[in-house]
């Protein structure tokens, strides 16, 4: 594989008025070309732009000592890795026949190996990330603040998927006759009958689905948040700086599109066979269609400098104000069942559901490749078909499945001492969670469940940094 990249960037600064204000513009682009055997990828272009408007240039006095607005936009594309383009082949071994005669020492085993080449017959699209950023930098009476809003949209993300085709495997009958003397000729197992004449051994044909790894570009991520950083300056009597920073981040992950699922279940009608159908789900092979999370955190940093002994003491309090997770609801496609097994559709989102919920595939595929609508499950009078299709449904009896899970705020304190050793080295000692605060907290969606332990256990160490 060969990667070729070209990059171009231009920066322009435009003074405004009395030169205390200015506009800074940066425009750039990166061109990437991947050359790899077996695939033909077009070059990708990643543009980016940053603009900053300085309304009030930094100054030492005044109430508003700095004011600047900034924004940025860009696209970043990621080409698939070698692991996706050249996945390892699958090796499947089937023990078709095994025989061992402890009296004569005769042994015979027939194993069929199947090798599946998973190399993709198509090009995966590059993973695209669209990034937007807006921010303000200001200094009010010596208090510096940097606030940034960001929005990231990932499209054409790489997701696992598969395609299938049917095949048959012949499993030979078990032989217990010590005089059978089985042999393998012309692709078949032969055994001696009671007359001593060789005849073909009977077998059972089992139909299977053969899978091929077929990753696709269904991945989709929507993330946005606000990052903040406040420097309150130095408390002069104790020479301590106070810095507060943190972020609110919200993310949702989905994978719109069809996904093929092979349930490795025995056929409820003929247990010697596998389930004869595949399921095709829309968006995700789960009762939800994705997941989301959000987190609000703050770090309070107190940095004390003691110049007389060349030591810096840093005390940090980590505050987790919010940490929530949720499953995305597939509106209109989630149902429960009444006493007669009929579907009852409704709004089960953000509720404590004390019954099993179901989500159906959109269709199912038989071993001849025929695709049929999964609505057959609810309309068929064929009890065997209904029993088989029942294995393809997704279900959950967790009452909290569509509730937002999370915990009350919790905190952790860290400390770090750094001593300069001349001008060539520094020695640091640190202790994280030095109070060993490990609260046991109950998930708000599961008040009756066992509490979870938050924060990492106390741990400490030392670092030596040498400057040459």
Per-residue pLDDT reduced to its tens digit, 145-193:
999 999 999 999 999 998 888 888 899 999 988 888 999 999 999 999 9
Give the Cα separation of 176 and 202 in Å (integer). Answer: 14
Per-residue pLDDT reduced to its tens digit, 66-83:
999 999 999 999 989 888
Global pTM value: 0.85
Burial of 434 (0-12, 13-18, 19+ CB in 10 A): middle
Q: Where are the beta strands (DSSP E) in 122-196?
A: 127-140, 143-159, 162-172, 183-185, 188-192
Q: What is the mean pLDDT of residues 409-424?
A: 93
Residue 377 dihedral angles phi and psi, to the nearest 5°: -60, -35
Per-residue pLDDT reduced to its tens digit, 35-51:
888 888 889 999 999 99
Per-residue pLDDT reduced to its tens digit, 434-448:
999 999 999 999 988
Hey, where are the domains in the chain? 2-80+120-159+216-466, 81-119+162-213
Task: Please give the pLDDT value at position 281.
Answer: 96
> For residue 333, what are the contacts with CB-CB under 8 A and spacing of at least 6?
345, 359, 360
Candidates 60, 30, 25, 221; CA nearest to 131 is 221
Per-residue pLDDT reduced to its tens digit, 251-263:
999 999 999 999 8
Give the Cα separation of 332 and 325 in Å (integer). Answer: 22
Per-residue pLDDT reduced to its tens digit, 12-24:
999 987 767 899 9
> For residue 142, what are the contacts with CB-CB under 8 A and spacing of at least 6?
65, 233
- Per-residue pLDDT band at 207 (split at 50, 70, 90): confident
Task: Please give the pLDDT value at position 223.
Answer: 98
Give the Cα separation of 44 and 278 in Å (integer). Answer: 37
Task: Please give the pLDDT value at position 19.
Answer: 66
* Mean predicted lDDT score pLDDT of the chain: 93
Task: Please give the pLDDT value at position 384.
Answer: 95
Of all residues in the chain, the percent with pLDDT exceeding 70 is 100
Give the Cα separation of 393 and 402 in Å (integer). Answer: 18
Q: What is the mean pLDDT of residues 346-353?
A: 94
Q: What is the mean pLDDT of residues 270-295?
A: 93
Per-residue pLDDT reduced to its tens digit, 417-430:
999 998 889 999 99
Q: What is the mean pLDDT of residues 108-116?
A: 91
- Per-residue pLDDT band at 58 (split at 50, 70, 90): confident
| More confidently predicted of 213 and 252 | 252
């Amino acid at each position: 594989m060969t990667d070729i990249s070209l990059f171009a960037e231009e920066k322009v600064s435009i003074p405004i008025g009395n030169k205390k204000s200015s506009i800074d513009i940066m425009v750039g682009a990166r061109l990437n070309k991947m050359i790899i055997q077996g695939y033909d990828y077009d070059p990708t272009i990643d543009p980016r732009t940053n603009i900053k408007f300085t309304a009030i240039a930094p100054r030492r006095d005044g109430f508003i000592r700095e004011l600047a607005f900034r924004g940025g936009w860009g696209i970043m594309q990621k080409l698939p890795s070698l692991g996706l383009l050249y996945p390892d082949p699958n090796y499947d071994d089937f023990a078709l026949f095994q025989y061992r005669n402890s009296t004569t020492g005769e042994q015979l085993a027939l194993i069929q190996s199947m090798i599946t080449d998973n190399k993709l017959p198509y090009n995966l699209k590059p993973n695209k990330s669209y990034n937007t950023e807006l921010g303000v930098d200001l200094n009010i009476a010596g208090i510096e603040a940097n606030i940034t809003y960001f929005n990231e949209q990932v499209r054409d993300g790489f997701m696992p998927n598969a395609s299938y085709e049917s095949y048959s495997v012949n499993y030979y009958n078990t032989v217990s006759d010590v005089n059978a003397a089985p042999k393998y000729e012309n692709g078949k197992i032969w055994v001696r009958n009671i007359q001593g004449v060789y005849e073909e051994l009977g077998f059972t044909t089992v139909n299977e689905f053969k899978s091929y790894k077929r990753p696709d570009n269904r991945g989709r991520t929507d993330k946005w948040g606000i990052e903040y950083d406040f420097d309150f300056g130095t408390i002069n009597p104790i020479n301590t700086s106070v810095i507060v920073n943190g972020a609110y981040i919200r993310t949702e992950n989905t994978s719109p599109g069809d996904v093929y699922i092979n349930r490795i279940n025995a056929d409820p009608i003929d247990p010697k066979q596998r389930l004869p159908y595949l399921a095709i789900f829309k968006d995700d092979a789960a009762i939800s269609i994705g997941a989301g999370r959000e987190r609000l955190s703050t770090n309070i940093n107190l940095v004390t400098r003691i110049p007389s002994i060349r030591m810096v003491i840093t005390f940090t309090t980590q505050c987790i104000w919010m940490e929530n997770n949720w499953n995305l609801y597939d509106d209109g496609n989630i149902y429960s069942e009444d006493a007669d097994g009929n579907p009852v559709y409704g709004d089960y989102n953000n509720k404590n559901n004390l019954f099993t919920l179901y989500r159906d595939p959109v269709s199912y595929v038989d071993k001849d490749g025929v695709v049929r609508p999964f609505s057959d499950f609810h309309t068929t009078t064929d009890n065997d078909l209904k029993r088989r299709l029942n294995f393809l449904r997704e279900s959950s009896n967790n009452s909290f499945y569509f509730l937002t899970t999370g915990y009350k705020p919790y905190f952790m304190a860290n400390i770090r001492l750094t001593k300069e050793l001349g001008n060539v080295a520094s020695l640091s000692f640190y202790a994280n969670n030095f109070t060993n605060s490990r609260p046991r907290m109950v998930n708000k969606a599961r008040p009756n469940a066992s509490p979870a332990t938050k924060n990492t256990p106390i741990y400490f160490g030392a670092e030596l940094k040498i400057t040459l």
